[in-house]
Amino acid sequence: MSLKCRGIFSLIAGAACIVALAGPARAETTLEKIKRTGDLTVGTEAAFPPFEFVQDGKIVGYGSDILAVVVQDLGVKKLNQLDLPWQGILPGVLAGKFDFVATTVGINEERAKRYAYTLPIADGMPYAMKRKGDPIAKVEDLNGKVVATQLASSTEPVARAVDAKLKAAGGAGFKELKLFTAFPESYVALANGEVDAVIQSLPALAVVSKEKPDVFELAMPTPKDGGYTYLAWVTRPEDKDLRDAISATVRKMRDDGRLAALQKKWFGFEMKIPDSGYLPPGAQ
């Protein structure tokens, strides 16, 4: 083999070694993409007042006000906020249809294995709401009653657990558990007598009962044994850097008082937001 050919083969071999040592190129993370492009797409269910709802053609609410600060901290120039039915929100983020979920997600064991939760934005203690004056004051009073909640929500397993507990104690359990696509539909059903109680997070029900005190009133807490009560946003499990960036903004807002101010604005009371203990063991 000529010296020239040997030189060419040496160059090729050297290049191959460099490529092998370098390894495969690292994929860009969602957070890096957002910062590079300035574009952000989020999934929201704008039918969960006062967290997220539509007013005068715009999505507003407690979560929307938090999102505005997150967008600023991420350096986003263009926000695309998709208003979707709740049942498509969590599957949608896993399918990559948007960057993260900017809508209220109750923390539970099953979800914590599949999604990366941010720092909580609210305490979502499950509660029952009834028609004003109805004789429902304790969980046992739900025996033989028609109870409503939202399909695939964090309070659906809570409601099912309450029903099972009533039956285990020798009661009749619910007459029926009605599942609605969105919570506002369940409020209408409660008002017109189609259902006897709605189980949902306390902050949301507190606002509903305050806005319509002649129609609704709070009944009692309905916690699930060993359940987690906080509400947060989620990212895909591989996007923990994005999750941590959102959490940093929420923590900063908590520590400087802005989160408490928003809670007073939208709920009329403040909620404590913990740094730890809000996730089940083994969470993402």
258, β-bridge pairs: none
Delineate the domains of the chain, giving CATH numbers in brackets.
Answer: 30-122+230-266 (3.40.190.10), 126-221 (3.40.190.10)
pLDDT tens, 116-156? 999 999 999 999 999 999 999 999 999 999 999 999 999 99
As a dihedral over the C-alpha atoms of residue 55, residue 197, residue 133, residue 169, rounded to 10 degrees, the angle is -150
How much is the average pLDDT of 242-251? 98
| Beta-carbon contacts of residue 243 (< 8 Å; ≥ 6 apart) | 100, 116, 117, 118, 234, 235
Q: Assess whether pLDDT exceeds 90 at residue 265.
A: yes
pLDDT tens, 71-98? 999 999 999 999 999 999 999 999 999 9
Q: Assess whether pLDDT exceeds 70 at residue 18.
A: no
Q: Assess whether pLDDT exceeds 50 at residue 17.
A: no
pLDDT tens, 197-226? 999 999 999 999 999 999 999 999 999 877
Percent of the chain residues past pLDDT 70, beyond the cut: 91
| Beta-carbon contacts of residue 93 (< 8 Å; ≥ 6 apart) | 43, 99, 100, 101, 115, 234, 235, 236
Q: Assess whether pLDDT exceeds 50 at residue 4.
A: no
pLDDT confidence tier of residue 24, bands split at 50, 70 and 90: low
How much is the average pLDDT of 244-264? 98
Q: Which two tokens stand for residue 178?
A: 């009605």
Q: Assess whether pLDDT exceeds 90 at residue 237.
A: yes
- Mean pLDDT taken over the chain: 92
Closest CA to 133 of 211, 219, 199: 219
